[in-house]
Amino acid sequence: MEFNRTRVTMCARFYRLKDMKELYRRFGIQPVLEELGLQYNIAPTEQALVIPAADGPRAAKLMTFGLPNPWRPGAILLNMRDESFASKPGFRNPLMNQRCLVVADGFFEWRKTAAGSLPYRFWLQSGEPFGLAGICNSDQFAIITTQANSLVAGVHDRMPVIIRKSEEETWLDSRVKDFNKLIIMLAPYPAAEMETAALSKKVNSATYKEADLLAPLPDSQGR
C-alpha cells in the first residue's frame, strides 16, 4: 500500500520539539531503546513516540502512524472520530483495551481557500508537550479526533483530542473500563489555552522536515 505523502489529510500531521529526556520527565516514562531526534513534521507511515495504556509503570515505544483499516483492505486508518465510540458498538473494544497517548508539541491543520490549502499550527499557551488520544496495536496507532474548538474551527472543523494532563493517569490505566469515564475525555481542548499561527506552504509537503517550517508568517501568530 502506498500513501500519498504530499496529500493534506485531516489531523494527519503533528510535531515534537522536546528532547527525549525532557519527555521522560514530563510523562513519567521509562527511556525507549531507540532515541529520536526532534520531529518537525510527523506524517502518516512515520514513527512517533507513543505511550500505551498499561496496568503498571508507563513505558513508551516507537510506533508507526497508521493502523490497518478493517473496512478497506490495504489502506491505513489515521483518525477515529470520537462520535464513533458512542454510536458504533464495535468501537468500544478499542477504547477499552487499546488506548494510548501520542506525544506531541503541536499539530497542523489546513484551511481550504481559492488559493489552495493554507497550513496552520496549533500548540498550548503553556508551551508544554501534550498527549494526543490514540488507539494502538503493538506497533501502530491512529489519532482520535473531535469537533474543533473555536480557535481551530477558523481553519478546520475537526481537531485531535488532547488529553488533559490531569486525566492522563486515568487514560493510561488499562484497568479503567468505565465507558462513560473514558468517553467524556474525548472533548475539544479549551481554545483559551491554545495558540495558532499561519505557516508557509512548505508544510504541505510531508517530506519537508526542517525547523523553519514552524516559523509563523508575518503578523500571523496569536489567537
For the segment 128-133, the average pLDDT, to the nearest whole number, is 98
pTM of whole model > 0.95?
A: no
Tell me, yes or no, whether 220 lies in a domain: no
pLDDT tens digit sequence for 89-99: 878 899 999 99
Does residue 193 form part of some domain?
Answer: yes
Residue 213: Cβ-neighbour burial (10 angstroms; 0-12, 13-18, 19+): buried
149 within a domain of the structure (yes/no): yes
211 lies in some domain: no
Residue 8 pLDDT grade (very low, low, confident, very high; cuts 50, 70, 90): very low
Quick one: pLDDT band at residue 3, thresholds 50, 70, 90? very low
Residue 194: strand, helix, or coil: strand
β strands within 82-183, DSSP E: 99-104, 106-113, 116-124, 130-136, 140-147, 158-160, 162-163
Quote the CA–CA distance of 78 and 68 in Å, as a whole number.
9
Which helix (H) or strand (E) segment holds residue 93: the answer is helix 92-97
Model confidence at 221, pLDDT cuts 50, 70, 90, reads low
> Each residue of 191-205: pLDDT tens digit?
999 999 999 999 999
In a domain, 221, yes or no: no
Predicted confidence (pLDDT) at residue 33 exceeds the cutoff of 80: no
Query: What is the span of the domain harbouring residue 88?
Result: 14-202
Q: What is the torsion angle, in degrees rounded to the nearest 10, for the CA atoms of residue 119, residue 121, residue 122 and residue 124?
A: -170
Query: Domain tally for the chain?
Result: 1
Mean pLDDT over the full length of the chain? 91
Find the largest Cα–Cα distance for the chain.
51
The pLDDT, as a whole number, for residue 220 is: 62
Residue 6 lies in a domain: no
CA angle 215, 217, 218 (to 5 degrees): 120
Distance, CA of 50 to CA of 37 (rounded, Å): 15
Which CATH number belongs to the domain containing residue 90 in this structure?
Answer: 3.90.1680.10
In a domain, 222, yes or no: no
Above 90 in pLDDT, residue 5? no
Residue 91 lies in a domain: yes
